[in-house]
Amino acid sequence: MSVTDLLDLDATALAHVLRTGDASPTEVLDATLDAAAGVGTDVGAFTVLTADLARTQALAAESALVAARRAGSTVGGTDELPPFLGVPCPVKDLTMVEGVPIRAGSAAIDPFPAPYDDGVVTLLRAAGTVMVGKTTTPELGLPCYTEPDVGPTARTPWNLARSAGGSSGGAAAAVAARVVPVAHGSDGGGSLRIPASACGLVGLKPSRGLVSPGPYGVDGAGLATHGVLTRSVRDAAAFLDVLARPWPGDTFTARLAAAPGERRLRVGLLLDPVIAADAPVHPACADAARAAAALLAGLGHDVVEIPPPFGAERWDAFAALWSVGALQAPVPPDREHLLVPLTRWLRERGRSVSGLAYATALAGVQQLTREVATAWAGVDVVLSPTLAQPPALVGSQRIDDDPAADFAAQTAFTPWTSVWNLTGRPAISLPLGEARVTDPDGSSATVPVGVMLGADHGDDALLLDLAARLEEAAPWSHRRPGATS
């Protein structure tokens, strides 16, 4: 196979090619590292490449595959080989990979070799993936854009003047630019789904408790979870199988409900912004959701319009928890001044939250979760735009001289995503729409627009099943970004 053909495969197809011997893990690694140094640099995907570690893993995968082929046990799913043996999968630079420097996108944190693998990294290793590098993230993963003071800016390969989103921006850029077929990420307020929308990918935020933070992590308020960015629904489902493993002592746990099969679903179409009631919604974003609703109706499901489940002012509980979370980052006091203005502002807000206010915020989130469950009891799935706007121009969202305005602009850009973090319910962004945008230099481009589906806690299989049917009805695999345009 040609290098272009190899890098264009999704993770499931690439794993099959490696098992049949049509390509080797070292050949795939060579192609991946070349792409990472080329288009990966153009889109700001990586903060560090780990060529030596990846080479060791690829050679071990190659030996295992050769031995299995000699034994006649690599094809047909009957062997004991890991499911993604030899498939490249980088890790977001908020997550520990033993021996690999971590900086979390911050000038206030000196890079240091991670002392251990975080739980999800252990699982990705066990699945056979090759860790080719750490992907770019904004400082501490806080904003919805990836423009750190240290490391490159992550750009959508569909238009290099525009952001890949955040905070898993580097991960999304790497997958969309065909450097890797899958990349690890995380989502505390939309950080998988936002870049999925900006880069034309599939981004699933699993149910709270389904993907454990592992033996070294804690859930805290339960807003964030690990996941992956992919180009196909089947990869999203397969990697959920990889990562949905409990660890002893987990605070939150989840049970997966069975997929509904051919059951007729009731779909609630939510077009009004939730957390920023006056947020302007680009017509292409609303149109993409309406088109998805028409597709679902054509598949035999009932679609009804629904209002927001609570008033925008009720979202303040999330803001309190988010600011305290920013304050919890272990930044030495003598390096606080090296933080970006937004992070300093959030940490100051965190310091102003009293113990009583924090407890009240937690209680408020739990009450909102009950209210959302009641409001949406009559629908199986909620459908909305993923974002209120197409991918933003690089630099347009980071407002260093007014962090409060920066934060407000982020909420207006993402008026639906954090609802699913608050409630712990699963949500998935699918690349079903597109928008024509014009840049300040007068050039224009077509960029992706995501559509988001969310469901009840534990209904991840339902979402993936429905997403697969939408992918079949309106396939997106033929669409390619012009990474250097």
Q: Is 92 a known active-site residue?
A: yes
Q: Is 134 a known active-site residue?
A: no
Separation between Cα atoms, residue 242 and residue 245, nearest integer Å: 7
Q: In b/e form, how buried is each residue of 231-253, taking b as 16+ CB within 10 angstroms? A: bbbbbbbbbbebbbeeeeebeee
Q: Which two tokens stand for residue 458?
A: 């534990």
Give the residue ranges of DSSP H helices in 331-479. 341-351, 355-375, 403-413, 418-423, 460-473
Three-state DSSP class for 264?
coil
Q: Is 352 a known active-site residue?
A: no
Separation between Cα atoms, residue 108 and residue 338, nearest integer Å: 5
Amino acid identity of residue 298, one-letter, is G
Of 92, 134, 168, 232, the active-site residue reads 92
DSSP 47: E
Strand order of the β-sheet with 133-135 is 46-49, 133-135, 91-92
DSSP H or E stretch at residue 63: helix 51-70
Of 24, 106, 163, 167, the active-site residue reads 167
Give the bridge partners for 91, in sequence order: 134
Of 168, 191, 197, 429, the active-site residue reads 191
Q: Which two tokens stand for residue 33?
A: 């590292």
Separation between Cα atoms, residue 404 and residue 399, nearest integer Å: 9
Q: Which two tokens stand for residue 143?
A: 């904003």
Return the closest-CA partner of residue 152 out of 130, 128, 177, 129: 177
Q: Which two tokens stand for residue 319?
A: 């803001």
Give the bridge partners for 205, in sequence order: 427
Residues classed as catalytic? 92, 167, 191
